[in-house]
Structure 1
Amino acid sequence: MDRKKKKQLANKSAANVELQRRALKDRFLDRVKKVVLQIGNEALLEKFPAIYFEKLYECRYTVLKAKAAPGSDIPRNRVIQFNKLLQQLMDGIEVIFPNGNKIPISWYLSEGMTLADCISGIETYDDPKLEEIKASFAFCSHDGKFHHHLQETLIDLVTDTCTLLSDYNDHIYRADLSMTSYFAKLSSQNDIIIYTFKPKKEMIETKKGTRSAIRLGWPSSEFEWKYFNVKPSLLGFKTQGLDIPLEIYIGTHTLERLQKRINITPGLMHQILLLTFLEPRIPHRWDGDKTYVDFMVSDQKVGYLVVKLHGSKMMIHTFLFLTNNDTLEGEKLGRLLNIVKEDKKYLEIDSLPAFNSYHIDKNEELSKLFKDAGCGSLLKLGHLEEFTANQIADKDPESILHYLADAPYFSKEVSINDRDLSI
C-alpha cells in the first residue's frame, strides 16, 4: 500500500473515531438532561449554568464493567460473557425517583450518578438557583435510602450473574463491587472484580468402593472458599454422643445425574443444592441406612437426594426425579398405570425438561393422574423452561394417553387406596 492510501485510511479512521466520540457525548448530554427532567422539570433544567453539562461530560464516570481479578486464570471470553449477561439482566430494570418517575438503571449508573455526585459537591454560595438544584438531588446522597436500594439492586444483579455462570464441575464465581463509584464515591475506577474458585474433587471411601466427590461449599463474602457442615440428626441419622456437624459431599456422578434429570442452569441448581442443606429443618424420609432429602426448585418438590453416612462424612449418592422408581411417588405412579422404569423412559416422563415439554398442566386427565400419584408439584414448574440448559421441543400429551389407554388408572381398575392422594 502506497503512502497516499495509508494516509487516506488513517484520516478515515480518525474521522470515524471522532464521530463515535461525538455520538457518545451527545447521548450523554441528552440523557443527563432527561434525568434532570425526570427528577424535576423544565424550570429545574433551566437553572443549570449553560456550560455545566459540557464540563460534566469531562468528569463522567467510566462505564461499569467487569474484569478478572489480578492473578486469576479467568479467560477473556468468560469476562466478556459476564459483562454481556450483566447487561441482559439490567435490561428492563428501572430506578424510581421519589416523585414516582423512572429511568433505566443503566442511565442512572452512568449519567445519573455522575450528575448526582457532582451536584453533591457544589458550593452554592447562597445562590438560590444552585441551592434549589442541590436540594432537588439531595435524595441521591450515598447515605440515603435511595442510594442504599441502588447498591442492593447492584449486588443482586452481580450475584445473579455470578451464579448463572457458576458450575461445581468447573468454577464458582464471586465478584467485588467495593471499588466502583456506587460504593466508593468519586472512585476513578468503575470495575467489578471477578474472582474464581474451582471446587476440589476428592476420593471418598464408601461401602461400595472409592467414589469421586465434591465437598459442598461456596465463596464467602471475604472471597475465600467456605465449606459447610450438617448435623447428621437433621437428616435422620443416629449418632453416638454429640451431634457434631459433619462434612457433606456430592458424588461427581450424582452431579451429572442431577444435571440430566433437572437440566436447568448449573449454577442455579448447584446453589439450590447447597441451600437445601443449610435450612434449620431439612425435610427428609429415613429409610434404614440412607435418607431421602426433598429437593425443591421454586418451592416445588422435584425429587430426592439420597444421602448415606460413611464414618465422619455424609455423601449424596444419587438424585431421583419424582417420577423415578425408588421414590414413593414414582412407585405409586407405576402401580396406578401398571408401568415399569422402561415405560417411563419411553414416555420421557423421567426428567424435568422432558416432563415440562408435554405441558401436562393443561391436560385435565393427565393433571389428575400425576396429582393422584403425588407428583402434582411438577405441574407448577413450566416456567423453568427459560432456564433449561438444552431446550426440548414440545410434545403432544395425547401421546401419553394413547400409550396408557389400557392402564388400570384409566380403566377404573385401581384400588381406592391407590387413588388416595396420600403417598
Structure 2
Amino acid sequence: MTILILGSGGREHTFAWKLAQSPKCEKLYVAPGNSGTAQIATNVNINVTDFEAIKALVIEHQIDMVVVGPEDPLVLGIHDFFLNDDTLKTVAVIGPQKAAAALEGSKEFAKEFLIRHHIPTAAYQSFNAENISEGYAFLETLTPPYVLKADGLAAGKGVLILNDLNEAKTELKSMLLDAKFGDASQKVVIEEFLDGIELSCFVLTDGKHYKILPTAKDYKRIGEGDTGLNTGGMGAISPVPFASESFLKKVEDQIVKPTVDGLIKDKLPYKGFIFIGLIKVGDDPKVIEYNVRMGDPETEVVLPRLKNDLVSLFKAISEERLNEIQIDIDNRAATTVMLVSGGYPEAYEKGKEISGLETITDSIAFHAGSVLKDGKIVTSGGRVMAITSYGDSYQEAIKKSYQTIAKLHFDKINYRKDIGFDLD
C-alpha cells in the first residue's frame, strides 16, 4: 500500500515509524512532516488543511490510505471531502467524518453528547457574549476552582482552571468579549471542577466495533511538580499504574461502550481513534474531554507498546472488520520525555542545531518541532523531540530516557525532570 500521513509532529513521526515496519507499506509520504519522518518516508511540503493540494498528491502518487494526525483537517471535514469526490472516495481515510469530529471541535457538542448518552462527566453550562451575566451568576453557584473551556479548537490551550471567583469572571469576560482565544472562545463552557488524577484512554473504532489501546498519562504543565503554564504535553507514561483491572472495566462499561453506541445512535460516522481524557475520582472514571485523534506525546508511548501490524489494523478499520483483529500489547512500560525550546510555551527561538542524536542506543527519538536544514537537524518549534524508552517498570524506562537526554544538546534546551513524579 501507498500511505500518506498528514501532520508534522511527534505523533506523526511515531505513526511513520510504526507504519514503515509493516511489510504491507510499500511507499510512505508525510505532509508536511519533519526531520524524523524525512529519514523513513518522503516529506511533501503541503499544509494539512489544503485539501485541494492533498487531493493532487493522492492522485499523483496513487495513494491508497490517508492517516490524519492532527484535529484541524478532521474538524474541517477532510474525510467528507474524500467521500464526496469520485476520484478520492475509494481511498481509506483514518479519522472521523466532520459530524463526529465535532466531539473535539466543540466542547458544548461533546458535553451534550455525554449527557445524552448518560456517560459520567462534570456538570456544566455554556455561555456566549449575549448571556455573559448568566455566566457570572453560574460561577457564583460553584465552589472553586472554576473551570473555563473555550468551546472551539485552541491548540490545547483553551482551558483555564482558576481559584479566585473575581479572576474567573475577568477571564470569562476576556474570553467572550475580548476574544482571548479568537473564534474558539465565542462560546465558553463552564464546568464543575473534578478532584482526582487524570489519565487518557485510547480507542480504535471502525464505526461499529472497537478495540481499546493501552492507557497513558501525560504531563501538561511546563514546570516540575505540574506548575506553570499549560503546554501541548511535556512527557507521558504507559501503562498507568493506578488504573487497575476493575477501574478499566468501569472505563469500558461506563464510557467506551456507551461512546461507541452513542456514535451509532446519533449517526456520527467514525473510523479512527477516539482519545478519551479521563479523571479518576475516587474509584470512578469521568470524562473530561474527547479528542478525535491520537494525543501527543501519548502516541509516543502507546504505539511503541502496540505489537500489531498498524497497516493491517487501519485496513480493518476502513473495511469495518475491526472485530476480527486481536490487539497484542507489549508488557513493558514505555515513557517519553519532551525536549522543548527555551522560553516555550511563550516566545522561543528557532534554528538551534541539535547534536548527539547519533549516540542514541537505548531510546527512540521521535522528532516533533525539528527540520532538516543544510544537512543539519535544527529546532523549528516549541516541542522539539520526544525521547521514548522501554523498561520492565516505568521507573526503569524513565531512567533510560533521562540517560539518553544527557547525551543530547541544543541551545536553551529545556525539559521536565520529574515525569512520573506523582506515581511513586
TM (normalized to structure 1)? 0.24
Higher strand share: 2
- Bigger CA radius of gyration: 1
More RCO (CA 8 Å, sep 6+): 2
Higher helix share: 1
